[in-house]
């Protein structure tokens, strides 16, 4: 079975089943195992001198380990490859988490704050209705790229080894890729490599969102808005989502009790947001996913 055919089935299986709680209550999720391995290396290596070199070695170990495990699993045929690929794609779980925020927000702002805190890193206790909605939509756009399009892209390029390498590096970036005193050296390599691996997928995500809404007529505006973002990659899907829904995203937010005055992406977009806008973002996630599925199925037929 071709790589594209396996990928089509994996995408459909993930969309149908998502993350079955009964399974992951009994066995560890592969992403959890990756996290434990990274935490183990962090505890033992992120000390003393030469932390940047140690961080480079960690990133290299993740690449080599992902490649070896991916190759070994692939030797057992298409079925285990399909199952692991489906497990590591995150469209259904992303949609479910974002929808949970809309449901909670319709009950109360406080419930919305608690729900969105599960999917964002910023402080949420002071967010109003618009702030909760904006945070959920930003997370939806960014995680469509990181959790769906990028894994799909790297599986298509390099099979299961490519997918495992991407997920390991992306997990490392989320755990140690911070620019604080603890991780600015040790996490430098993982953060840089994650930026490299996400460069094409982030822009591809923006294209998919744009094409399934207003086409590419606003591409120059999307590109200009993306340049305003603090991240070299996250700004692309976020900017495309902002233009697709005609809303303003990003903007000021609070981390560790400190207000950070980030500029708005699509500043002229509507800033008064509600749970209905989160629903619209969920619809955008499925539209982009659907277009990607069609493209991969066509590749499989070829």
With a cut of 80, say whether residue 256 has pLDDT above it.
Answer: no
pLDDT at 48: 87
* Residue 270 backbone dihedrals phi, psi, to 5 degrees: -65, 135
Strand 253-255, strand 258-260: pairing: antiparallel
* Residue 218 backbone dihedrals phi, psi, to 5 degrees: -100, 20
Q: Give the orientation angle of helix 51-75 with respect to helix 188-211, to 10 degrees.
A: 60
With a cut of 90, say whether residue 155 has pLDDT above it.
Answer: yes
- The 3-state secondary structure of the chain, one letter per residue: CCHHHHHHHHHHHHHHHCCCHHHHCCCCCHHHHHHHHHHHHHHHHCCCCCHHHHHHHHHHHHHHHHHHHHHHHHHCCHHHHHHHHHHHCCHHHHHHHHHHHHHHHHHCHHHHHHHHCCCCCCCCCCCCHHHHHHHHHHHHHHHHHHHHHHHHHHHHHHHHHHHHHHHHHHHHHHHHCCCCCCCCCCCHHHHHHHHHHHHHHHHHHHHHHHHCCCCCCCHHHHHHHHCCCCCCCCHHHHHHHHHHHCECEECCEEECCEEECCCEECCCCECCCCHHHHHHHHHHHHHHHHHHHHHHHHHHHC
User: Which among 169, 175, 105, 157 has a CA at the least distance from the CA of 135?
Assistant: 105
pLDDT at 180: 87
Q: Over range 100-112, report the average pLDDT.
A: 96
With a cut of 70, say whether residue 259 has pLDDT above it.
Answer: no
Q: Each residue of 287-297: pLDDT tens digit?
A: 999 999 999 99
* Residue 190 backbone dihedrals phi, psi, to 5 degrees: -65, -40
Q: Each residue of 117-144: pLDDT tens digit?
A: 999 877 888 899 999 999 999 999 999 9
Q: Over range 37-56, report the average pLDDT.
A: 94
pLDDT at 254: 66
Q: Each residue of 215-229: pLDDT tens digit?
A: 898 999 999 999 888
Its pTM surpasses 0.85: yes
Sequence-distant contacts of 177-183: CB under 8 A, at least 24 apart: 182/46, 183/46
């Amino acid at each position: 079975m071709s790589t594209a055919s396996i990928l089509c089935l994996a995408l459909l299986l993930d969309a149908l089943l998502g993350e079955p709680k009964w399974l992951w209550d009994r066995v560890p999720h592969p992403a959890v195992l990756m996290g434990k391995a990274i935490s183990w290396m962090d505890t033992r290596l992120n000390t003393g001198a030469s932390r940047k070199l140690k961080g480079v070695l960690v990133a290299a170990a993740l690449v080599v380990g992902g490649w070896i495990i991916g190759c070994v699993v692939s030797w057992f045929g298409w079925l285990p490859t399909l199952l692991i690929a489906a497990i590591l794609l995150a469209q259904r779980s992303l949609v479910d988490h974002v929808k949970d925020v809309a449901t909670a927000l319709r009950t109360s702002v406080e419930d919305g704050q608690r729900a969105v805190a599960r999917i964002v890193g910023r402080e949420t206790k002071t967010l109003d209705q618009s702030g909760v909605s904006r945070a959920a939509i930003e997370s939806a756009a960014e995680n469509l790229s990181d959790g769906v399009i990028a894994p799909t892209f790297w599986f298509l390029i390099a099979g299961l080894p490519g997918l495992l390498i991407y997920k390991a590096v992306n997990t490392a970036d989320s755990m140690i890729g911070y620019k604080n005193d603890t991780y600015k050296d040790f996490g430098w390599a993982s953060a840089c490599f994650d930026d490299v691996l996400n460069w094409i997928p982030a822009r591809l995500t923006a294209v998919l969102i744009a094409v399934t809404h207003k086409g590419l007529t606003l591409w120059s505006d999307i590109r200009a808005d993306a340049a305003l973002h603090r991240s070299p990659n996250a700004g692309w899907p976020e900017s495309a989502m902002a233009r697709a829904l005609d809303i303003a995203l990003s903007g000021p937010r609070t981390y560790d009790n400190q207000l950070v005055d980030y500029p708005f992406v699509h500043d002229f977009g509507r800033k008064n947001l509600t749970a209905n806008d989160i629903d619209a973002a969920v619809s955008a996630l499925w539209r982009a996913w659907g277009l990607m599925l069609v493209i991969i199925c066509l590749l499989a037929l070829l």
